[in-house]
Amino acid sequence: MADASSSKKNNSVKYGVLGQSLPHTFSPMLHKMLGFEYQYDKIEKTLGELDGLFNSNEYAGFNVTVPYKKEAYERVTFVSSEAKATGSVNTVVFDDEGISYGDNTDVYGFKYMLKRAQIDPKDKECLVLGSGGASCAVEYALKDLGVKTVKICSRNGEINYDNYFAKASCTSLLVNATPVGMYPHIDEDLIDLSRLPKLEAVVDVIYNPFRTKMILKAIDLGLKVGNPIDMLAGQAFVADKIFLKKKLEKIEISEKDEEVINAASRKLEASTRNITLIGMPGSGKTTVGSLIAARTNREFVDLDDSYTKTFGSTPEEDIRLKSEDYFRDREAEIIRSVLHKSKLVVSCGGGAILRESNRQYIRSNSIVIYIDRPCEVLEDSNRPISKSVGVKELFRIREPLYKATCDIEIKLTKEDTPETTLDKVVEALKKEGIAI
């Protein structure tokens, strides 16, 4: 840690988030949603520029993201007990004399995420994947919450990815504190959840994508899962309190404060996750999707149109002239290229859900809505698969996959129009706490 004798007065009212590269950070948007009224910048610095930043007095404080949390710990003058225990700092503040203080508010954010998900680790056996800085914060928080045991699993540890099922078979709560599964490597995960027979809940600290491969598997197994956006909002709220106090002290969070955090978390989630429509060919996904996009001021992407623009041929042409497998391979490329993004309204082709890998991409960053229109009103003109198989048989095959993929099902009648369908979508999203 740094020496206080070299400090100089700091009268700045600027704040920000420090990282190496921050093109997609949610931090400025999130702090504004939390009611933080001061200037909040992206502070992109190389390792060699950190000393200059800490000594410049340009900022009154800043949050710190990877890879600089341990670097920040080494450069501040005083640290909180949470920062000392974890060896990392994610919040830096300077007092009026320029003395620097460091805290690790990830500890609070993690506790808040568990609370929101109604996951109580007290007296439970917990397994944490990873042994880095994030793992230290998670372990500290879990011990503070009264867990029975915390075991650490790492590639070269006593408990590793080859023996976790034997050495941690009584695990009740599993936490991923590694970067595995983070964009762009969202196809990756570390363990087979089904090999932990007493598992009750799974939490991942990754929020890009919103739902990692591991979290999606946990959902499909009927386990409780945490929402990483809650952790992000919780730690940011406590950081803002520290910024305004200009010193380290125990931050008390009231029920009203938690309401503010929850509102910001839901707002961030609603404004950044894609709204993705799935359903049978002819169910009206494109028309309704364009209406949702206009309502929400978002970009609308029809994956069939993207296919044609990318490859110079339509899905129908490639199915007819090549093969369905040829088309599905190309369709998978389009799904991967579009659905890792955020803030879109997306209409998927009717068979986009046939491949498990596609379903993962569709679910990972989206609120998925299944438009369920009666078979007798589905159009099958210019749709070769509908023609060859038949609409009712196609529906019989695909319906279970639509239901397994979606977050929300919109059941329509013969009389529903695009406008009434839009109304039903808006109402269903409101019930999920998402206002559009």
Superfamily of domain 118-226: NAD(P)-binding Rossmann-like Domain (3.40.50.720)
Q: DSSP letters of 373-424?
A: --GGG---TT-HHHHHH-HHHHHHHHHHHHHHH-SEEEE--TT--HHHHHHH
As a whole number of angstroms, the distance between CA 297 and CA 291 comes to 10
What is the end-to-end Cα distance of the chain in Å, rounded?
A: 47
pLDDT given at position 79: 97
Token digits for 54?
Answer: 């800490």
pTM for this entry: 0.91
Splitting the chain (436 residues) into consecutive groups of 10 residues, what average pLDDT does each group show? 60 90 93 96 98 94 95 97 95 95 97 98 98 93 98 96 97 97 93 97 96 97 98 97 89 93 94 96 95 95 98 96 97 97 96 97 97 83 57 92 98 95 94 77
CATH architecture of 273-431: 3-Layer(aba) Sandwich (3.40)
**Bridge partner residues of 274 (DSSP):** 366
Going by C-alpha positions, the residue among 385, 173, 361 that lies closest to residue 278 is 361
Backbone angles phi, psi at 346, to 5 degrees: -125, 135
pLDDT given at position 131: 92
pLDDT given at position 383: 59
Q: Is the dihedral of CA 204, 28, 267, 407 positive or negative?
A: negative
As a whole number of angstroms, the distance between CA 60 and CA 217 comes to 42
Contact in structure between 347 and 303 (CB atoms under 8 Å): yes
pLDDT given at position 4: 57
Contact in structure between 57 and 15 (CB atoms under 8 Å): no
Going by C-alpha positions, the residue among 131, 150, 132, 129 that lies closest to residue 141 is 150
pLDDT given at position 10: 62
CATH topology of domain 4-105+232-270: Rossmann fold (3.40.50)
pLDDT given at position 342: 92
As a whole number of angstroms, the distance between CA 331 and CA 342 comes to 19
Query: What amino acid occupies position 378?
Result: L
Token digits for 413?
Answer: 């009648």
- What are the structural domain ranges in the chain? 4-105+232-270, 118-226, 273-431
Contacts with 415 (C-beta within 8 Å, 6 or more apart), sequence order: none
User: Per residue in 349-377, pLDDT tens?
Assistant: 999 999 999 999 999 999 999 999 998 88
CB count, 10 Å around CB of 6?
10
